[in-house]
Amino acid sequence: MNLSNTLFATISNKLKVQVSLLNEERFHVKNLKTQIDSLKKLKENNYKNLSLEKLQTESNTNQNLVIMYIINISFLKANTTIHVSDIKGNMKLFYSAGSVGLTGKQKRKRRIAVSKLISLLLKKATFLSKKPIALHLNNVNFYKNLIVSKLKRTLYIRVIKSFNQTPYNGCRKKKLRRKKYTKKFK
């Protein structure tokens, strides 16, 4: 009897999670449909100059048409940083690996640093909850999936851009000059 109750409880919990995810997807699809409709109306009215002000006045869903905040995660050689800015470039939050208690070589352990920084960001940045966000990743080669999956759970991410600036093999070595051979005279 207990086994069947626990199985029923686990299956019902999984179904509840799936239903909540489907409801979220339905919400996002509905927003996309309203955006498409508003853009079709603008096109029908022969607007040749689609400026941001016109889009905001014509559409009730102006928050969904425009990205509101940018989250930038950077892996530097000796540190890991994360900062949030609005679309105009004004910085709202900034955290580095030192702000979560990591020091020295611990700051280079990417998995620990990123997970702690993301959890700190989600606690402090409550204003990001349902706003459309752009995610910029600098030199985040192998941890891209980890970061995106953690942030997608609670945030609405519209755009993900990845900037990898460190080459795989490193820079080309400088050409060595040959030493001139000189004869010694007696």
Q: Domain boundary residue among 30, 58, 86?
A: 58
Domain check: are 83 and 159 in the same one? yes
Average pLDDT of the chain to the nearest whole number: 81
Domain total of the chain: 2
Tell me: pLDDT of 47 over 70.
Answer: no
Q: What is the three-class DSSP state of 79?
A: coil
Domain check: are 71 and 108 in the same one? yes
Tell me: pLDDT of 62 over 50.
Answer: no
Domain check: are 71 and 91 in the same one? yes
Tell me: pLDDT of 56 over 60.
Answer: no
The Cα–Cα gap between 104 and 106 comes to 5
Among residues of the chain, what percentage have pLDDT more than 70? 85
pLDDT band at 53 (very low <50, low <70, confident <90, very high): low
Q: What is the three-class DSSP state of 160?
A: strand
For the whole model, what pTM was predicted? 0.57
State which residues form the domain around 8. 2-58
